[in-house]
Structure 1
Amino acid sequence: MAVFRRLSSTHLASLLGIAFVSMMTMAVFWVMDKYATFRSESDAMRQAYVAESRADIRAEVIRAVEYIQYSISTAESRLRKDIRTRTLEAVAIAEAICQEHHPHADPEEPGRLVREVLRQIRFNNGRGYYFATRLDGVEMLFADRPELEGKNLLHMQDDAGRMVIQDMIRLAREQGQGFYEYTWTKPGAQGSSHRKIAYIHYVPCLDWFIGTGEYLDDVHADIQEEALHRLASLRFDPGGYLFGSTTTGLPLFTNGQITRGGPAILDLQDPHGAFIIRDQIAAAANPEGGFTEYSWRKLTGQTPSPKVSYVRGVPEWGWIIGAGCYVDDVEYAIANKQQALLDTMRRGLLHVGLLLLAVLGLAALMARHLARGVRQHFEVFGAHFGQAAQVRLPLRESALVYAEFRTLAREVNAMMAREAQAEQALRESEDAFRRLFEGSSDAILLMKDNRFVECNQAALTMLGDVSRQAFLDSTLTDISPEQQPDGRRSAEAAAEHVAAASSKGSHRFDWLCRRADGSLFMVDVSLVPITLHGDSMLHVTWRDVTARILEHDQLEQAVADRTRELQDANARLLALDQLKSSFLSTASHELRTPLTSILGFAKLLRRDAARLGDTLAASQSQACGLANRMVDNAAIIISEGLRLTRLINDLLDLNRIESGRMEWHDRLVDVASLAREVLDFMRGQLDAHPGVALSAAIDDDVPSLWVDPDRIKQVILNLLTNAFKFAPQGLVELQLRSDGEGGVVLQVQDSGPGVPPEEQERIFEKYHQGQTAITDAKPQGAGLGLAICRQIVEHYGGRIWVESAPGRGAAFIVALPSQPAQ
């Protein structure tokens, strides 16, 4: 059995006798020892510096987090103390007003003064306000929602089903004062489940409880703002500072600057691709916090340096607080030590190099002999690989001497066998892909440099059975009309779609194509960039959607037809409304003409009957009685004619206001004098209402307004006439005062049965005749007086509303703001 020589054995035998091995080993060990000592000392310096720095930044972060947690723990007690103090201040104001009130004056006056004083008070950056509720559940003051004042809120519940007002009344009755917690709506925030704490205090002189509340969310927001400013200003050691962000990757503060509200930093990376904020969020998820490492620029340079940061979370706020230090500050001392080591190593290696030259000379002679044998083996391999390009033949191992080359030959033969198997599998895979490619009902194509280089049969069929040779190497614009349905040129649109697919990774759109016979069809196109055989291409898929587009167009046409029908109907309704207004104007004028004649002749009849009665009174008593009846009947005709005239005038006024044809004769008007004129006129009408007591309270400081005096007089007259109707046996009072801002407030109060809550808005609608709170009977009238009042008041930018409780009468209030001179 032949013994073959091993290449490794030959090489080892040639080098055993050479001292080169020993010397190189000694040199390597010497260098390694020096370098190991240097590494050990350097690592010790780094570890000491990093450990000290880590301890420092951890201590600073823990102190900051403890400060925040202490602030959070005191938030609720801080809230309770604040709202209790605010409530006691309001109670003191209310009690002082009650003490100054004269016992014989208006009993409602203290409540009104308390309500007006507390309504103006705001605190806590304008979000704090007072509320007051009578113990029967009627809201007396709701500064944030004045529309609820005067309404009974006993039924009001929060999201948990608590009867808020009933619970507060019970607390006021049983304890006189105390805290109450519930959930409520919050201005500027969604939902109604915001936790709120209120403090109420019972005021016996008013039979009210007064209170205020605060949302715990708002207190936390204030504390957060304080914490941001304090932590941002903290400094430690030379250049040390705190930074903060949220667990969702939003900035809070850094390096003395508050960055809250800035862009998200969740995906912030260092130059090595580390996600800085994501790593900090993961470390802060540990209750004890944690350290993170990354690279970042120093404040005094532009080159990124390694940095260690310690972060800790504040779960209650979703905050992360941290501080960091640069670990390469110690590298300056280490670099000096490294330079000294390099100088020593250079001198030692110089001596080793001289001896190495001699050793290399001897080794070269030995290697030359070995190389000759190796070259011969490589020539055998080269000749085999040259033949393998045409014919796959196994490599002959018998031609090789060294065992290593024989092993290599066996591996080459095995590799050639596996390659043949892989080629066979590839051919089978290509056949399967081609069958799938050609069998698809959708068109599949490949584009390179904006030209089609491959397609399946479905694409050729869609294009009108064109030949593959004629189609390939064409562009998308070659098989498209000049313009697409959106008006863009096909060439420009195609370039934009290709660019979109390249930038986004995929792109889908509708495209109008042209068949070989010139007919058009719509396809749904999908573009996906791919790499095939090292070339960048686009994988294109088409699907014919012409039928779907046609259905969509038919639906749009149906919608357009229906829209035109609705527009025509709306035009007809507008014409009918205009016809109604014209009819009202014409009918009113037609009614007024005979009414004028009726009233004229009725007055003549009454005058002649009165003269006849005076003439016959002395001699003929029967004729005198007849004359008196004629006088009474004529008076009835006149009264009813005047009432009908007022109705017609109201109809005309309302029609003019609504149609914009009312003429407004504005001038500077003394509203107080105008009110007194109306009062004098109404007192002259008291003979027809013997059970009504009319009084007035007109302040001396009522300002003048730039308004139409006839229209304002009409408002006052309508409100007083309305009060006479509903209080035929009682008190009617007119109040006029300044609103403190150049405007006036007019109030007509009656002692009638009141207006039900469900009617308090509807009574201002035209033609609506309101019902009283006691009976369902409807009063006389056409339901126009209050509607005209609202139109006039709103013309001047004012408001009119009613405040009423069942059985306690009604107060109609008009607020007119200051008007600029025209």
Structure 2
Amino acid sequence: MFNLGDSRIRTKLYVAYAGAFLVIFLVAGGIIHAQVRNILRRNIENELAKTTEALRTMVRATVDVSIRNYMRAVSEKCLDEARYLHRQVKRGRLTEAEAKDRARRIFLSQTIGRTGRVYCLNSQGIMVVHHKRSLVGVDMSGLAFVREQVRRKEGYMTYEWKEPLEAGNRSKAVYMTYFEPWDWIISASSYREEFAQLVNVEDFRQRFFELRSGRSGYPYVLDYNGYLLIHPYLRGFHYRDYDSPGLGAVARRIVKERNGHFDYMWRNPGEQTLKKKVVYFKDIPELGWVVASSSYYQDFQQPLDAIGYVMLTALAVAVLLMIPVSFGIGALITRPIGKLQENFARAADGDFSVRMEQHSRDELGLMAGYFNSFMERLTAYSQDLESEIARRKQTEKELIAMDRAKTMFLASASHELRTPLTSIIGFLKLMEKHFRARFMPVLGPLDPVGLQARKFEKNLTIVQVEAERLGRLVNDLLDLSKIEAGRMEWRDRPLSVDRVLRRAAEASGALAEEKPGIELVVESLAEPMAVRADADKIHQVLINLLSNAFKNTDAGSVTLSAVRTEAGAYFSVCDTGRGISEDERERIFDIFYQGRDENSRSTHVFGTGLGLSICRKIVAHYGSRLVVDSVLGKGSCFRFSIPFAEGED
């Protein structure tokens, strides 16, 4: 049996020092471990709280922009319809009353969410279009928001509105465009509480998951009814559908409390064991959503385990080093060991500047050197890591700011340019109408003033054409920026190819009338076909190609056709025009590039130089490529394919 009293002094010193050091090390290690654990937990909780707030802010901002763009698109679509019908009136195809009646039917057929509608006021605040017939013709100028609409006529605004029999006001949003010829303020409106029905979460799903906490944490979104709208594993589930009552209780509690945080046990799909998590969540009342950010406790348990392993290793080394120094130098050992213990505690608290003094070259001196070398490397790694994190965060902020600035600039620029352009074009048309009606009839052909007046009339026409071209350039730039930024809305649905061709041919009738020497040929389909695409986008591509074909053809024909291929419906627009040289066949798809006319000295500009670039990007969205075959002096053929709708291939 071992008896310490009978042992040699070196054994007693070793056992005494070892026992004392063990107790001190374990107590200090336990305190350090507890402190580090609390610090890591607080840091993770703070990070989760900030991440949740950032997620809510991001979702709110994205939804607001998305809804504003959606309502603007509805309003501007109605404005385009009004302009088209007004042109029909000017061409004598419709009376103004018929055009306005057709416009009303089109506007009232538009819906925004569940109850959102389109209505129209005039500049006196009188309701001219509304789905409630009792309000048509009523003077609404007594309402504050109507007066604001009359004052602004265009743009986005919000206001409070109370329906009959409702207890209180509800927030509403409206986007307005102004059609001056009819004095109509076209307004697309919807309750803000219904915005959730208009939002496509896929628009910001990727950016949403980029804001995550910890290594294994992730964010998600629930609605007030308990459905998971965004989740990396359980999207579309209701909490009643979870395979565990405990997991359903977590979602039920989040939906019930809507703001706060708590700990819970969770098991991801495909995993066998439950693991402890913490979740912070905040609601977005106007959408009826709850944004949550969660993280596993194991994210900060691993650093604690690493600290424990380091401490155990250091303890073992210290105990072993006591054997050679236990012979008479116990007093000399206590001071360096105490210093080492203190430095470890400071390092564990995050002070990487601590260093040990090397008084000798023995084992303690070497240990001090190893500690200093380790701390220097740890400091360098920490500084590099902090620098890299700061640099990436700054870069991310700059990129987000640049993207936001670009989007705001394009939206603001397009709006600010469209407003004066609309006025300019309107006044030019009015000037031309009055000039021809009042001045030209009283001026004779030999009158010198008459010669100057005809020159003025010609210049007025040139200004009007260039103003309309500038308007098309603004619209093309906005479309191009939406496609490049990935914000273009794609409303894909099954489309009859025959109907697509007929619609494009009908829309190109005016082009054929302007050039009677050119025949528009629409080849009949060999068999019925249907594709899945956005009708407006495909129509935009075909109209652009047909317009270019007519512009570059003086005589002959323009042919529109579609045939069945393995890739889908293969569309073609061919002409017998001037053709395109081989070195230009790819350059014509570049932004702002306009082809040369090899057979003419004319400097006439045919367009903005954006149409073909936009067409190629639209076609690329459907996995195809817009290509051209051409022979100088004989004509050109533009071709692309669109995949079939489900069941067609």
TM over 0.5: no
TM-score, length of structure 2 as denominator length: 0.39
TM-score, length of structure 1 as denominator length: 0.32
